[in-house]
Amino acid sequence: MINTFSRRDFLVIGSAMAWAGCTPDIFSSPLQSQEEQDDLKAFVTVSKRDPRYFELSNGRPYIPIGLNMVYDPDTRDDDLLLLERDWFRKFKENRINFVRIWLSGNMFEIETGRSGNIDANRVRRLDKLFALARQYGVRLKLCTEHFRHLGEGNQPWAARTMYLKENGGPAEHTEDFFTGEAGRAHYQKKLRWYADRYGSDPIVFGWELWNEMDAVNKSGAFWIPWTTEMLAELRRLFPKNLVMQSLGSFDHTDKKRRYETLCRMPDNDVLQVHRYLDLGAQWDICHASMAELSSQAVRELLSHGIPKPTLLAESGAVEPGHSGPFKLYQRDKAGIILHDVLFAPFFSGAAGAGHCWHWDQYIQRNNLWHQFDRFASAVEGIDPAAEQFEPLEPEHDRLFLYGLKGKTKSMMWCRDKKNTWKTELEEGTPPEELADVEIQLPETLFPLPKSEMKIYDPWTNHRQTIPAGGSTITLPSFSRSLVVIF
């Protein structure tokens, strides 16, 4: 155990310890092609061609495809071997290029015991995480903290009692941590430690201040000024990485004001939204199909007209009031919830796929990793910033049509309205095979395809080309959803 964030002394000790005990095969030669290796030397940035999308600092497009993961097993030394075998290899196999990690989870929290004490073993694990990310080509979004109270609340997982003065910490109570000089200084010191060790690393997608900051302070009395101050500090410490903040699930109209406030903060690089299927939510949209509720969350942020990338950064399904993972997950062996979380945001104008929660109790348990690869196939070869996509939603009696009108090519995700989590998972109704469904592409909305269109079925992983027929398209047979590129 090393005390008090002593960066100079700790970095010497920590770097010597960081690789201790690592087996050679974990950090073997890179698994990427030469082009992929070159890309991993570039930083993820906001595109200069279209600030609603990302690109790499070498000019190549970047669409984040991934998930949230709070990897919190029993903190054994071999857990990182499991992290590689059970997770990163699946990421690579299924073209996952992004993962959000809580640095404040038990696995990677460097500060343990008493406030200010650094655990060298945790640092070693964190070093391994960075090495695995580079080896497997996965960018990291690093959330620095998640606590919601310092012991006064009723959620044990969200407490951080070591920050109380009575336990040697900097604060008298939760609000004091954010408004008091000592609490803010302590947090900034920890950010500086991260910057000294991991600053200017291109494997980092971005640094996120907090998980759902308004869950700490709903009124905004202190989360708003604190976020403004700390985003600026993140910008100073990590000038080559994106910086951002997150708020809780967008599940009632009162949160519109909170989300707009965050979106308009000048140092917040990414407009993030969290949205879940939650039958206990006040807002009816949170009871709808996954496609509708995911799309609406993105459209709500886009409606502010702020030219920044937008992401559905957390999604999935929960029992009422976020009381646990959705019980119908166990029936979703096909992955329709995950499929909609991935596809609906991007085809509604987001800068990437939606990022699901419940990585272990849903994705891993049902072995749904292939869904990420299917989304990657759907957007393969697409450069959103070059296309400067305009999201459009033509009306159709049977399908949700989520379209992206581009400069040289356009795309449309066609989703069967009658196939939802409710029909397939709750009622047990299998998806219907749709044949000879026609859709219209009015010239006022989309350029008419000149000769042919490409069709991708993400459920069968089958591609085909069909002839263009003017403004009317007859889709080949499919169930659940289909992607059209023209």
Decide: 356 and 341 in contact? Cβ < 8 Å. yes
Pairing of strands 98-102, 66-69: parallel
Task: Identify the pLDDT of residue 385.
Answer: 98
Q: Which fold has domain 7-384?
A: TIM Barrel (3.20.20)
For 456-480, write each residue's pLDDT tens digit: 999 999 999 998 877 888 999 999 9
Q: Which residue has the higher pLDDT, 218 or 483?
A: 483
Which 3 state secondary structure label does DSSP give 1? coil
Instruction: CATH 2.60.40 in the chain: give the residue spans.
Output: 392-485
pLDDT > 70? residue 109:
yes
The dihedrals phi and psi of 446, each to the nearest 5 degrees, come to: -130, 145
75 confidence band (pLDDT: 50, 70, 90): low
pLDDT > 90? residue 191:
yes
Was domain 392-485 assigned CATH 2.60.40? Answer: yes
pTM above 0.75, yes or no: yes
pLDDT > 90? residue 237:
yes
Helix and strand tally (H, E) in the chain? 14, 17
Instruction: CATH 3.20.20.80 in the chain: give the residue spans.
Output: 7-384
Task: Identify the pLDDT of residue 16.
Answer: 29
Residues 6+ apart with CB under 8 A from 367: none
Q: Give buried/exposed letters for 125-135 (b at 16+ CB in 10 A, else e).
A: bbbbbbbbbbb
Task: Identify the pLDDT of residue 53.
Answer: 98
For 50-72, write each residue's pLDDT tens digit: 999 999 999 999 999 999 998 77
Tell me what the mean pLDDT of segment 167-192 comes to: 97
CA dihedral 94, 98, 103, 108 (to 10 degrees): 30
Task: Identify the pLDDT of residue 30.
Answer: 59
The continuous run of DSSP H or E covering 124 comes out as helix 120-136
pLDDT > 90? residue 172:
yes
Which 3 state secondary structure label does DSSP give 105? coil
